[in-house]
Amino acid sequence: MDLLEYQGKQLFARHGVPVPDGRHAASVDEAVAAADEIGYPCVVKAQVQIGGRGKAGGIKVAKDRDEAREYAEAILGMDIRGLTVHELWIEAASEIDSEYYASVVFDRSAKAPLLMLSTKGGMDIEEVADEDPDAIARLHVDPLLGFQDFHGRRLAFEARVDADVVRPVGAMLAKLYEVFVSEEATLVEVNPLIVTPAAAGDGAGRAVKALDAKVTLDDNSLYRHPDNSELRDLSKEDPQERMAKERGLTYVKLDGDIGILANGAGLSMSTLDVVAEAGGRPANFLDAGGGSRAEAITSAVEVILSDDRVKAVLFNIFGGITRGDEVATGLIEAFKQINPSVPFVVRLDGTNGEEGRGLLAQADLPNVHIESTMDGAAQKVVELAKQAEGAPA
């Protein structure tokens, strides 16, 4: 689950990560009121889940109330790389001496969190990696050991940060790692991580702040974080994937026109492969689970057919703990409730597969084709999908 900048900063604040003072706004009047409360100069920032906001004109510094209103009116409703701005973050302007980059990401190949630090902040980290990979210091953290003080010092020295902010940067990295672990994130990124000038007269040295926040939470863990669950913006989620999640189904939307249902992740992936090899384009990955019962099958059919691009559907079920008669009963019930207009190809094998095929034959469902092999089922569903779109089979 990707968070907007202001949501990430609110999460940071829970863990003591220094961030500039800011207010959320969803209208021009709210933005002006927030700017008045924070004081001028302030920054009007578009809230969209994509980079490049500044280059697109989505971040403006307002020197007074009139500019705050002008910029809020201009940015709300703006299109930034295909995303419409509906929310703003009004933030106190910051003085900046230096811009760094810092992140914690889960490295699946290493099976450990990866910390990265660079003094080349404020630009796309992909560009830095391409142009000067040595400018990015990297360190894997043992999940059992956790982040230690020496990790921060090592990264700071390797990234060649200014000597007077080695300790503040290390402390910042420790807090970002705390956010990563405590909130069960897969990505915590700050770009830029700014170094502020020393305050005149009070003897304090330079400090570091998170001027931006990019956070991705593991949505499989949200049941342990009810506060974070409330940050989910359902209106921005794909409707089919949201429907599947609500029904406890594992579903990923793809760009084809053949609906897929199988039981078990391995068989589901294999089904996608054989359909592609037969010349078809899968519309989804849907794993109904290893013990698919009738109600789960009915829900799965509803999810698949809610995608109006689907021209044919392939059921590929191999019974182990899944019973073929249960799957057949679910499909029969789904046809009673939905009355689908697209053809179905069904391959049932394994536990009670013969009984399931018998139930389907007895029900005599319209436009349902029974196949005995996975390859045969894939070829048949591709043929039916091409016929539906008027192309030669």
| pLDDT tens digits, one per residue of 217-258 | 998 898 899 888 888 765 566 677 878 877 878 889 999 999
Instruction: Convert the pLDDT of each residue in 279-319 to its tens digit.
Output: 999 999 998 765 556 677 788 888 999 898 999 999 998 87
Determine whether 101 is an active site residue.
Answer: yes
Residues 6+ apart with CB under 8 A from 256: 280, 281, 282, 283, 309
E-only strand ranges, the chain:
22-25, 42-46, 59-62, 79-80, 83-84, 88-92, 98-107, 112-118, 136-140, 185-196, 207-210, 214-217, 250-253, 258-262, 284-287, 312-319, 344-350, 368-370
The pLDDT confidence band at residue 181, using thresholds 50, 70 and 90, is very high
Which of the following is catalytic: 189, 326, 371, 383?
A: 189
Write out pLDDT tens, residues 70-99: 999 999 999 998 889 999 999 999 999 999
Catalytic residue among 101, 326, 371, 383: 101
State the average pLDDT for the chain: 89
**Residue 3 gets which letter from DSSP?**
P
Q: What percent of the chain has pLDDT over 70?
A: 95
Grade residue 393 by pLDDT with cuts at 50, 70 and 90. Answer: very low
Structure tokens at 47: 């809230």
